Structure 1
Amino acid sequence: MYQRLMEHLTTAVLLLDDELRLRWMNPAAEALLAISLTRVRGQPLPALVSHDNALGELLGKARDEFHPFTQREARFTLSTGELLTVDYTVTPLTVNELLMEVEPRDRLLRISREEALQTRQETIKVLARGLAHEVKNPLGGIRGAAQLLERDLEDPQLTEFTRIIIEEVDRLRDLVDSMLGPNRVSHQEPMNIHKVLERVRSLLTVEQPEVRIARDYDPSLPDLIGDESQMIQAILNVARNAVEAMTETTTASPRLVLRTRARRQFTLGAERHRLVCEVTIIDNGPGIPVALRETLFYPMVSGRAEGSGLGLSIAQSILHQHQGLIECDSEPGHTEFRLLIPLEKRHD
């Protein structure tokens, strides 16, 4: 009866013997650890799952001292190579049995991280709009005054100075508009993400022919609902940023990978989606400095001397319009930007 009850639990439950070999686990544990009980029964758990804190030693200590323990936010590496963040509790039942309960934390951590990111983005957007309003009003006055002055000046050499004023005011106005992200309502319609990626690839190949661009597409991906031109802009901003980072640092054999995958039952923010399109842009450049990683998607933040700091901010804004977001992991020699977009149409 107890076994039948545990089979219906959503918490992963495992039963180990005194040699730390797997005797039984419920379906939730099979799904979480990506292993089948019929195939791994009798194998030592530490051989199936590796842990930063030596899982075998911790389990052995609980067995020998007959004392339960709990680990918070432990990192498990599965046999598939996938990393999991979990909380787990080990309880000795008898001298020959250990009960292990495992609760995944990745989803909760992701929700917390993404909610914080979205809150920061909304705060930045409000501040940027307020700044744009305060800056554009005096810019309009300066431009109008320069135009009036230009009409009254007879010396062509002097009117050249007023022309410079007008052009620089227009440049500042365009910069302020860029900080606000896309300035038009997105046109939502079915689009093929691989067509978008091929457009980006062709543009980058012309701009930077020395960078090798590889494709790793999932052909089974269905069309998603979105604005094709805005999606091209978002992916191009991210990919161009990666290419420029490689070429400016003279990375040996610069290589960019464009990859697509489908993620099932995936959480974006606090919302669970049945199917999500994941576009991953991978480069072998120098990586993103640690000091920039928390503010990477802020306007005017750039790690490049010639960068405007607007490309990634605009890309994130476009993804938010599509109920998606951008994540980033980086280390020297390997940087990944993951663009996550729901594949099902949202009903508002």
Structure 2
Amino acid sequence: MTDIRTSMMQNGPAPAVDVLMQCVTAMAGLDAELRFIWLNPALSDLLGAGGVRWHGTLLEAIDPGASAIVAAARRALDGEQVVLLRQVAVRSGGERERVVDLAFSPLPGKGLLLEVLAVASVGERTSPLLSESLRGFAHEVKNPLAGVRGAAQLIGRRVEGAELRELADLIIAESDRLAGLADRLLRAGGKPRLARLNVHELLERVALLIAAEADAPAVRRDYDPSLPLPIGDADRLLQLLLNLARNALEA
């Protein structure tokens, strides 16, 4: 985010807002009165309501009484410096609270850029074993992933061959999966997302990923259509199967 912040400091917020609206990191712009002037979709989803609902709302609307968030924003605004908050509770539109890390960065015109750097449910603490450098990496990697995803979408619209469109879709799906892995690092200890899943579909995804790699061998399929649909976390099971396949190739 350093380049975007620098651009906004030098040129004002308008040229960069369109970029920030596409980021998977939850962000918002605040005016000098600490009112929301824009929210990107990621923050709108986090707060549980559309950006229009929050437009013009004071920052204190998400502060569940302790005023630590508003006080930190004031320090950033008055001192013209970046202020970080670790493990503070935030109230969403549905009155549900989440524990987050926040960053306030000063902008031209006495405004602030708000970033939500990590999210967990109330009562759920981030792992002490997760280093700050790893959390920083998980946070920063999500923005280039959003760019990769957008580029793949453009390629998918412009190419004509079905095989190339399939590869573009694969890039999009893998970008989403990596963004999900980054979210899991930022929310260490989060519960698995359990649902009925089709193991054959996951195996086909693994076969496509392996086939897209250089010097990949031919994949032979021998599925049992009578297998029942198990309950599991599709993202984690896909990662497990992919690790097994790549280990087999390397061995």
Q: TM-score, normalised by structure 2?
A: 0.44
Larger radius of gyration: 1
The structure where helix makes up a greater share of residues is 2
Q: TM-score, normalised by structure 1?
A: 0.32
The structure where strand makes up a greater share of residues is 1
